[in-house]
A and B are shown apart, each in its own frame.
Chain A
Amino acid sequence: MTNCNCDCERSEQKHEEETTILPDWKKAFVNRQEFLKLVSISLSGVIGLVATIPAVAFILNYLFVSKPPKWVNVGQMTKFKEGETVQVGFHDPYILPWDGVSGHRAAWLRREPDNKFTAFAISCTHLGCPVRWQAQAKLFMCPCHGGVYYSDGQVAGGPPPRPLQRYPVRLVNDDVQIQVGTFITEPESEAG
């Protein structure tokens, strides 16, 4: 009994030593064991891919969805006084029902003479913190790293590399509309 156990163990050990995980490619179609390895590894790969590819595609679903900029109403023209810069709020045009207050957005809107308007993104072009309009000083100031912009969005001081991003503005009847994209500003879409 003991001898048998020893023999069995030795045989098992020898088998383990001889067995490799990957098939011997040259013998894959002539040797049963090598062929079984090839079939098992190939099918394991298929199982993995079938489960993984749709899941990863689903996780990255946003890469397959296009969200072009949309026009949003920010108020009636008469609401805004000439020469004043005010904060306007609106909803993300692509808001989802479960976004809650996270779907709120804001921009700075300035009314110029002759019924012209300029809309600025609230994100600092340095690192994206929200800039604050200081009406008395007529400056936008960023709380994070001290970026400062003039009332026309040009950089007045600090680390911002570019002027504040501008949104296109149009008047539809008496409504002021701005075309909003993302609030993370892209270098190529700087102030126009």
Chain B
Amino acid sequence: MKIIDNLLEWVEERTGLKAPIMHMLAHPVPPGSKWFYVFGTAIMTSFIVQVITGIALSTLYVPSAGQAYESVQYISSQAPFGAFVRGLHYFGASAMILFTGLHMIRIYVMGSFKYPRELNWLVGVGLLFLTVAMGFTGQILRWDQNSVWTVAVGAQQAMRMPIIGKYIVEILVSGEEVGSSTLSHFFTYHVFVLPGILIGAIGLHVWLVLHNGISEPPVPGELVDPKTYRKKYSDMLKREGKPFWPDAAWRDIVFSTIVVIGIVALALWYGPPAVERPPDPSLINAQPKPDWYLLWYFALLALLPKEIEDAFIILAPLFVVVVFLLIPILAPYGERSPRRRPWAVASVAFIVTFVLALTVAGVKEPWSPNFTAKPLTPEIVGVTSGPISDGAKVFNTKGCLYCHAIDGQGGMRGPNLTYVGDRLTHNQITLRIVNGGNNMPAYAASITPKELKDLTTFLESRKAK
């Protein structure tokens, strides 16, 4: 042990690092900062997992449009530990996004963004967007069919922007087409540019936390006043503060350990996200979907009324950014306690419920035609010959089944037609098929009189008794 002590002393004499490190570790923290305060370290831990696993993956990944897909397949199915490391990287990213969300909710609900920590919040908002950008660029690096079309979908949204839309698309796609230039640029952003900015922003965020101190748990009625806050905070720390190391750090480390165990368990249990078909844009049977954390937005775009969609796609992201940035500017002082800020709590509850509900909808995708629906069986149809049976065949072949379900078989985009015979008359059914309406295409030009008659007969037969 003496040798180690001597060695450390030798290094310390030449670097002088011990004093600032100990000063940082031993900075006093408010006594009540307990389990709600562990999310920041959990994000940092997840980020470290990302850096380590990212470096490992980059040793086999080939950032070339012609070979990236094959290299990801090799990593996932042949390289020793490849699937596990990809799984760690995926669930590490998921943890980063999840805990960034929880951390921001904690900060907002407890009013920790108020004076003097407004900049902590603003840098944190930057970190949130950088984290999402890391996730999105990482998804593209899989370079499978889903990746290629996900870029196309992102670009198509950017194209809605008047005047500058075309240029945003060019920058997003790195050219006019999704191809090798797109992948190379996304690789550079994901591996060099964004992590560089992220590390710098994390450093600044940690510095601000040390400089302004960890916010004390809010007490109802104790208002933040910039004239008195720093002195009150400093007096409180002198009176009751505990050194971060080890009095508070142990909770962070215990929680981070649980997070890492969770990431490892998920990586072992579920493995990495599947690599889909090759990134060949001429294979059109693709159904692009973002990863889980952006699924709610994808769902929202399906449910928005057509009339406001353009405005929404352009203005909503700007609105979100502006609201995030304005929060500490609009409410820099005053009450911090969630008990006295019911609107703050209600808005968080609303947003969380909204995002969760949309995510569930995004998983189910009731608005998408169900191309994999199995044809109606004779058991469902009830007969094996005659007009009803022929009508059921028309129902199968004309694509009705993709959007309408009968006896649980089919799509969810249109109304369930299991008992449509009880709701609509012969004429009403005929009119709807011929003229369409309410998102249903008109079949007048693509159905023969015989097919129409059979289909109507079949649908009329769908009754409860």
Contact = CB atoms under 8 A, between A and B. Distances in A.
A177 interface: no
Interface stretch (A18-26, A38-46, A168-176, A180-188): A180-188
A interface SS class: loop
B180 A183 contact: no
Given A63-B170, A122-B284, A99 B180 contact: yes
B212 interface: no
Interface in A139-192: 139, 141-146, 148, 150-151, 156-159, 161, 181-187
A106 interface: yes
A97 B281 CA distance: 17
A157 B64 contact: no
A145 B179 contact: no
Contact of A99 (B159, B179, B284): B179
Contacts of B284: 87, 106, 122, 130-132
A39 to B, nearest CB: 28
A184 B288 CA distance: 15
Contacts of B288: 129, 144
B172 to A, nearest CB: 9
Interface in B152-170: 152-153, 155-157, 159-160, 165-167, 169-170
B363 interface: no
Interface string B348-371: 000000000000000000011101
Given A104-B280, A134-B399, A128 B439 contact: no
Interface residues of A, number: 57
Contacts of A159: 301-302, 304, 306, 309
Contacts of B286: 129-130, 143
B176 A62 contact: yes
> Which of B153, B188, B279, B310 has the largest count of A CB atoms less than 10 A from its CB?
B153
A100 B279 CA distance: 9
Contact of A132 (B160, B171, B309, B371): B371
Nearest to A182: B176
A91 to B, nearest CB: 9
B303 to A, nearest CB: 9
Interface in B268-291: 278-282, 284-289
B301 A129 contact: no
Contacts of A51: none
B446 A129 contact: no
A100 B152 contact: no
Interface residues of B, number: 69
B440 interface: yes
B175 A62 contact: yes
A103 interface: yes
B181 A62 contact: yes
A138 B143 CA distance: 32
Nearest to B369: A141
B121 interface: no
A75 interface: no
A127 B66 contact: no
Interface in B135-156: 143, 148-149, 152-153, 155-156
Nearest to B446: A138
B67 interface: yes
A162 to B, nearest CB: 11
B197 to A, nearest CB: 15
A102 B65 contact: yes
A99 B184 CA distance: 11
19 contacts: A62-B175, A62-B176, A62-B181, A63-B167, A65-B175, A94-B177, A100-B67, A102-B178, A102-B179, A128-B156, A130-B286, A132-B285, A132-B371, A137-B397, A141-B369, A143-B368, A144-B302, A159-B309, A184-B176
Interface of A: 59-60, 62-63, 65, 67, 87, 89, 92, 94-106, 122-123, 126-132, 134, 136-139, 141-146, 148, 150-151, 156-159, 161, 181-187
Given A95-B179, A104-B282, A106-B282, 18 more contacts: A62-B176, A87-B282, A89-B282, A98-B65, A102-B180, A102-B281, A103-B65, A122-B281, A129-B153, A129-B288, A137-B443, A138-B446, A146-B367, A146-B403, A148-B439, A156-B441, A184-B156, A187-B159
